[in-house]
Structure 1
Amino acid sequence: MPAEGRSSKARIVTAAAAALCVLAGLPAIAAPSAAPPAAQVSLERASVPASADARQVAHWIVDSGDNRGRPFAIVDKRAAQLVVFEPGGRIVGAASALLGSAIGDDAVPGLGALDPADIAPADRTTPAGRFASEPGRNLDGEAVIWFDYDAGLAIHRVRPGTARQPREQRLSSASTEDNRVSLGCVVVAPAFFDAVVQPLLGRRDGVVYVLSEMRPVHEAFGGEWMALRQP
């Protein structure tokens, strides 16, 4: 990772890496609550339709302290959803997300150095695993949350342009199958990014957990997975 990527300052990526972060949005969001952080995961109280895998991982994160006092997010690829939590485990919001168009859990080495046109369709994955996140900016000055800087992968808003409306329609549809359209970034509606993502992950370092879609959920975290308990 570039030296500047080791600080908490805003970062600029190469044009090829920045171009990886180009996709969509969603109209409805779960607004932040004013309640104090809980000492346990509060998915149930928030009435968020999170999957069993997301609930299992959220409980493990809080029980084990794996997030080390940092805000965190869970990307559930099977459900095409991003769920954002305060450090203590209280959920702040959840929304549909656009993900890599290719099914798979592994990143291709050197992907961030490629021109987007040279990225094979089969390589356009959102990799699974545990990622230290950091706020930054792309070449256009847009706020993003880097979770794999070397690959140019981030959580970000749907970007302006001719593809914006059809991508918003993909996110608002009932199907999750049409959410697979990005080059690997996790893309949400501007309203959700501004109200939920930015206030937590956009002001300090965090952790992003991307759930596997090809393997049992625990395999994505390897040796990090410990003290697992069912919610």
Structure 2
Amino acid sequence: MNAVTAAPGAASRALAVLVSLSLLSLSASAPSPPAVEDAQWLARAVVATADNRAAPFAVVDKKNARVFVFDAAGRLQGSSPVLLGLAHGDDSVPGIGEREMSRIRPEERTTPAGRFRTEPGRNAQGEDIVWIDYDAAVSMHRVRATVKSERRLERLASPSVADNRISYGCINVPAAFYDAYIKPALGSRRGVVYVLPETVAPHERFEFLSRPA
């Protein structure tokens, strides 16, 4: 994470949250996948501040191109590599959701970071998806391997995270993982997805990190 200087009040509140988090335990139902530490740390903060409103939630780690699904108590249920927006950055271009895909430039294809209230939906092909940011047309959905030259399935299977940046901003998930974890947790109700930023510190995107636990 990038180091930043926080205001004294925010720093003290964040410290209070971190002290509370040290008293919590987070058990995984399976061996911890790579780079789970940041996701588990955020999950502890989510539960400690009740930001998830006692509902299952997911954390997307853009730096490591992985999604982590947690139950309402913050226990890790599963993790998977994902494909993300081609361009690095933490904000969607204003009005991008109203544009045709052919008019979106490569440098505008970002996956936004922050806390998102999700809702189940369907795309133009009738496929069930989870809306992350409806206005920006960003969703989480099963990976589509319709354009062979993009090699999306191969990118997901690759051990490198460098080739996981390919989408227009949506979060592409392996179909089996989507059906087993994403759909049960977020596919039938409104939920929360936390997308960790890659250009700023987490507390700049998650207000609850400065909230007393």
Which TM-score bucket, shorter chain as reference? 0.7 to 0.9
The runs of 5 or more residues in structure 2 that have no matched partner are 1-23
Higher relative contact order, structure no. (Cα contacts within 8 Å, ≥ 6 residues apart): 1
CA drift at 1:87: 1.2
Counterpart contact for 1:158–1:164, Cα < 8 Å:
no
- Cα distance in 1, alignment partners of residues 157 and 198 from structure 2: 21
- Cα distance in 2, alignment partners of residues 134 and 140 from structure 1: 17
Other-structure match for 1:141: 126
Counterpart contact for 1:100–1:125, Cα < 8 Å:
yes
Q: Decide whether aligned partners of structure 1 residues 141 and 64 sit closer, same or farther in structure 2, where only a CA change above 3 A counts.
A: same
Other-structure match for 1:118: 103
The runs of 5 or more residues in structure 1 that have no matched partner are 1-38
Other-structure match for 1:226: 210
User: Which stretch shows the higher mean deviation, 72-81 or 113-122?
Assistant: 113-122
Q: Secondary structure at the match of 1:141?
A: coil
- Deviation per CA, 1:177-198: give whole Å up to 9, x if none: 0000000000011111111110
Q: CA RMSD in A?
A: 1.9
Match of residue 31, structure 2, among 41, 44, 47: 47
The alignment status of 1:99 with 2:54, answered yes or no, reads no
TM-score norm. by structure 1 comes to 0.77
Q: Secondary structure at the match of 1:46?
A: coil
CA drift at 1:164: 8.4
Q: Secondary structure at the match of 2:77?
A: strand
CA drift at 1:55: 2.0
CA drift at 1:225: 2.1
Q: Which amino acid counterpart does residue 225 of structure 1 have in structure 2?
A: L
- Cα distance in 1, alignment partners of residues 147 and 169 from structure 2: 20
- Deviation per CA, 1:93-116: give whole Å up to 9, x if none: 100000000000011111110011
- Deviation per CA, 1:17-64: give whole Å up to 9, x if none: xxxxxxxxxxxxxxxxxxxxxx85324x53222433212211100111
Q: Secondary structure at the match of 2:192?
A: strand
Other-structure match for 2:13: none
Q: Secondary structure at the match of 1:150?
A: coil
> After TM superposition, where is structure 1 displaced by more than 4 Å over at least 4 residues in a row?
none
- Cα distance in 2, alignment partners of residues 108 and 53 from structure 1: 26
Aligned residues: 189
Other-structure match for 2:69: 84
Other-structure match for 1:8: none
